[in-house]
Structure 1
């Protein structure tokens, strides 16, 4: 099939395709999602087939307002109203226990819970309103590979496989939403996947405990939320994380080994590595905000076959604030592998 690039004035046409069971990717403030009508199991099945995604991996249901969530949930966590008021629309996914048989098992991963999000992107909110149905929206990429942050990334993976992509430009955050488990109203909220909405931010607003589940799901386990697999977001080229103090040794290693190395880093490290690295994806600034926004784009750019890289070296940041989400995605991209500097 031909995959059409839709623009703002063509949202109605894209919405009609979704109503009919076709797949249309859409932009959010985090990454692009692969949209399908959440109420049509056969459409949702196509999402798994197109992505090559295991069917035990639950999907996030995207809504245009909180009223849509009430169609599937009746027993809300007592903090729900406060959370929705402060963080929706935004990069926060909420998991609730749902009414029996209100969503097909293919949406929930056969769990008794489901994940919901109201994205902070007006084009996609309008798309959902026009379609008149909630949309599942896992990242619009081949399963396990870096998530797409532009419409071009979507087309790279999905051209000829889906009906279209709504082009909303480059995403603003670049890493997927925080996933917060509210499925047990008697327990504190639990972060299952870190994102731009941090534990510290949630606790400050909610004035209560918010726990973090750091468990990484093995291939044989069923995840409670997307993005919990041990290795994920990974290009074909091996990724290595580099501690800030190890870049000089990394430069020496690349020089002496003759490895074709790619580098994803801010201006300071990019300048250090630019003569020995085979390819450099330079971030505009040495900040975790820019690193998070550019990580997936950098991994995609340096994984192109014509570069024939042996390894991609990536700048790391402290695991505080947004750094928690950034290091979570980078760690999974690298399969937890670091460049190992030799002791003097």
Structure 2
């Protein structure tokens, strides 16, 4: 496939899924929809394929990747699961939860996936297209968000093409992503401790209910999983948060009673706001105003994840 014809846009039908799987088996890069955001997938067992993800995204090599698997059994072949990990997998997979677990000795995972760490980030996605691609390829797939590193994550095929263009081989167009925010990432520690490394669609309270105890605060600055960089999800313009009104040079993203130029949710629905967040940040980036203002967002439930992304976008 020559660079001028890249990326190929594939329909999310049987033929498109088969072609995406063929490209992945060959070591190519394919953007695939998940229930969270579009992921830039490559086979996780081949060094050169994983290296291609880092090159295409301009991603720093110390930032590890999430490996997507078909099911819990496939995950256990790659990482060490204790009773807590099994309970979380059974409760939330397939779904928007990523577990950071000890890498199993001899697991067929390229070294670059873990960025040299002794742990592996694993997720079993729920999106039917991503699940079909994993099954057809017959491989665990490394798949960070399908965008330039640090930029706004993609929730549509058009976002992927705009950000990565000819750097990748194909985009499997499955429409807009349902959740709109990257997965919740949980690290399980010794002595029953655990931490939320990245808030996401699955609230911390639901995880605590399964584990029977509250999480520990994240105090270390070390990068153990995606989404922990201080500056991330950036639209390329200054972003002002907690803004009930906008200045003349600001594109205003509203919420609830704050109308704005566009709104995350006129009814104040946080789930709708999460689904629309990245699409509206893309829209704000393309608008004529040089700055962006965002209305106050409540911090409960998935609002914690929304505010986490907005703080990093504003850094």
TM-score normalized with structure 2 length: 0.93
1:93 matched to 2:98: yes
Between the aligned partners of 2:60 and 2:171, the Cα distance in structure 1 is 23
- CA displacement, residues 236-275 of structure 1 (integer Å, 9 cap, x when unaligned): 11111025xxx2xx34xx2xxxx421011136322xx5xx
Is the CA contact 1:316–1:327 (under 8 Å) kept in the aligned structure 2? no
How far apart are residue 66 of structure 1 and its match?
A: 1.3
The aligned counterpart of 1:223 is 223
Is the CA contact 2:93–2:124 (under 8 Å) kept in the aligned structure 1? yes
Is the CA contact 2:193–2:216 (under 8 Å) kept in the aligned structure 1? no
Alignment CA distance shift 1:213-1:58 (3 Å): farther
After TM superposition, what 4+ stretches of structure 1 lie above 4 angstroms from structure 2?
A: none
Q: Return the index of the structure with the highest Cα Rg.
A: 1
| 67, 73, 82: which one aligns with 1:77 | 82
Alignment CA distance shift 1:98-1:140 (3 Å): same
Q: Secondary structure at the match of 1:146?
A: coil
Give the root-mean-square deviation of aligned CA atoms: 1.6
- CA displacement, residues 158-209 of structure 1 (integer Å, 9 cap, x when unaligned): 2211111111111111111000112x45332221111111111112233x11
Matches within 5 A, 1:127-146: 127-146=133-152
Between the aligned partners of 2:198 and 2:253, the Cα distance in structure 1 is 23
| 326, 329, 337: which one aligns with 2:309 | 329
Between the aligned partners of 2:139 and 2:70, the Cα distance in structure 1 is 9
Q: Secondary structure at the match of 2:166?
A: coil
Unaligned runs of 5+ in 2: none
Matches within 5 A, 1:9-158: 9=14, 10-73=16-79, 75-102=80-107, 103-158=109-164
1:265 matched to 2:246: no
Unaligned runs of 5+ in 1: 274-279, 336-344
Between the aligned partners of 2:183 and 2:219, the Cα distance in structure 1 is 17
The aligned counterpart of 1:315 is 295
1:283 matched to 2:244: no
Is the CA contact 2:255–2:297 (under 8 Å) kept in the aligned structure 1? no
Aligned residues: 307
Between the aligned partners of 2:19 and 2:217, the Cα distance in structure 1 is 41
Q: Secondary structure at the match of 2:113?
A: helix
The aligned counterpart of 2:181 is 175
Between the aligned partners of 1:44 and 1:4, the Cα distance in structure 2 is 20
1:198 matched to 2:203: yes
- CA displacement, residues 131-153 of structure 1 (integer Å, 9 cap, x when unaligned): 01000110000100110011111
Between the aligned partners of 1:216 and 1:236, the Cα distance in structure 2 is 28
TM-score normalized with structure 1 length: 0.85
The aligned counterpart of 2:168 is 162
| 182, 206, 213: which one aligns with 1:209 | 213
How far apart are residue 229 of structure 1 and its match?
A: 0.9
Alignment CA distance shift 1:110-1:123 (3 Å): same
Between the aligned partners of 2:126 and 2:170, the Cα distance in structure 1 is 21
